Amino acid sequence: LNGPNFIDWYRQLSLVLSIEDKENYLENPIPAAPIASPGQQVPPADLAAHAAWVKGQKEVAVLVLLTMDLEIQ
């Protein structure tokens, strides 16, 4: 992305994210971290799912930044 090519950049980014099955990271916010009720524990699967979401979102953020000119970052 260098400013005037936003439409082309976004279309190409969307294609890459689609192939990687990561479009949802741009379209949805990071879900809140699971918190256990007093005396309870968060199920490990819930913690793993949240950690996977955070990791995927970081990967998308890096991809977006790496495709932008430094002046825009």
Please report the pLDDT score of residue 57 as a whole number. 95
Please report the pLDDT score of residue 22 as a whole number. 95
Please report the pLDDT score of residue 65 as a whole number. 96
Please report the pLDDT score of residue 13 as a whole number. 95
Please report the pLDDT score of residue 61 as a whole number. 95
Average pLDDT on 38-57 reads 96
Q: 8: exposed, middle or buried (C-beta count within 10 Å: 0-12, 13-18, 19+)?
A: exposed
